[in-house]
Amino acid sequence: MHELTPETITDAVLDQMATTSDPRLKEIMACAVKHLHEFAREVKLTPAEWIKGIAFMTAVGKICTPARQEFILLSDTLGLSALVNGLHDSTAMEEGTHTSLLGPFYREASPNLAAGSQIAKTVKPGTELVLYGRVTDVNGKPISNATVSIWQTGASGLYDIQESAASIDYRGVFTTDANGLYQLRSVRPIGYSIPMDGPVGEMVRAQKRHGMRPAHIHFLVGAPGYRELVTALYLRDDPHLQDDVVFGSSGDLAVDINPRDAESPIPNLPTIRFDMRLSRETAADKAGGRVGADPSAILKQPA
């Protein structure tokens, strides 16, 4: 029996895993082992540091619930979610509206609302606005009957799911009309801190990062024959547009609030207009390409 050393252990593990029958699993695990081992060698990882890392990952898992997905938050703050999202974008057949992160607070159980409905149950004076736009293909042809799911934080800077797992507020699903138009009433989004009361928050503080996300509103848009779009609009005047802690914001998704919009479908309120272009669906898109999920759905996934 040959003795294993820090220099030979990687090849020994790869040899033992060589019988993996699933080719994609074999490729992913081989690369993961190579990079993990090289990382440990590069930083000269100590036993104490290794066990601290194990404890951190254990804490991340323990805090996950049907209403909170700390692993997605970890992925977001490390830029991994944005990286995977960008890799997925590069597979699109054509360039539509740029994507952004789904985030850890998406919920599948959102109410279907009529055009023009207010998604907030409580509206503070001076915060209400109209959100509207057109959903088209990349050539500008309107897409009717597209579903437009929208969610955002409330006035407290929290999502409904953070305040109560049973509460549904500041979110809704709308359908575009024959001209591809969606319209609703909402409230002005505000910038907020990611949850800092868990292990990811401790990590962010240790790194002397601010933990802030710029003010934004999430979108999930779908229509038969088109690639699903996960994106968000960001307020251009937010001070953290350039240093979003989860690396989700971008200049091409930045918008302004228009205090007097002559084209607004709902008059006498400030507006945000956000038009979106969908690219055509490919065979690969049908397998799914969403970076993120409803926290409760992740816990239902088979191991």
Residue 59 lies in a domain: no
Residue 163 lies in a domain: yes
Q: Are residues 150 and 110 in the same domain?
A: yes
Q: How many residues does the chain have?
A: 303
Q: Are residues 126 and 166 in the same domain?
A: yes
Q: Give the position of tokens 């848009």.
A: 221
Q: Are residues 86 and 25 in the same domain?
A: no
42-68 mean pLDDT: 96
Q: Are residues 133 and 220 in the same domain?
A: yes
Q: Are residues 35 and 74 in the same domain?
A: no
As a three-state string, the secondary structure of the chain is CCCCCCCCHHHHHHHHHCCCCCHHHHHHHHHHHHHHHHHHHHHCCCHHHHHHHHHHHHHHHHHCECCECHHHHHHHHCCHHHHHHHHHHCCCCCCCCCCCCCCCCCCCCCCECCCCCECCCCCCCCCEEEEEEEEEECCCCECCCCEEEEECCCCCCCCHHHHCCCCCCCEEEEECCCCCEEEEEEECCCCEECCCCCHHHHHHHHCCCCCEECCEEEEEEECCCECCEEEEEEECCCCCCCCCCCCCCCHHHEECCECCCCCCCCCCCCEEECCEEECECCCHHHHCCCCCCCHHHHHCCCC
Residue 182 lies in a domain: yes
pLDDT at 303 over 60: no
List, for residues 195-249, the tens digit of each pLDDT value.
999 999 999 999 999 999 999 999 999 999 999 999 999 999 999 999 999 999 9
Q: Say which CATH number the domain at 98 has.
A: 2.60.130.10
Q: Are residues 99 and 211 in the same domain?
A: yes
Q: What is the pLDDT of residue 302?
A: 60
Q: Are residues 13 and 81 in the same domain?
A: no
pLDDT at 287 over 70: no
Q: Are residues 103 and 246 in the same domain?
A: yes
Instruction: Say how many domains are in the chain.
Output: 2
Q: Are residues 23 and 145 in the same domain?
A: no
List, for residues 136-192, the tens digit of each pLDDT value.
999 999 999 999 999 999 878 889 888 877 788 999 999 999 999 999 999 999 999
Q: Are residues 278 and 173 in the same domain?
A: yes
Residue 53 lies in a domain: no
Q: Are residues 130 and 269 in the same domain?
A: yes
Partner residues linked to 117 by β-bridges: none
Domain that holds residue 22: 9-45
Residue 81 lies in a domain: yes
Q: What is the pLDDT of residue 12?
A: 96
Residue 251 lies in a domain: yes
Q: Are residues 36 and 152 in the same domain?
A: no
List, for residues 12-40, the tens digit of each pLDDT value.
999 999 999 999 999 999 999 999 999 99
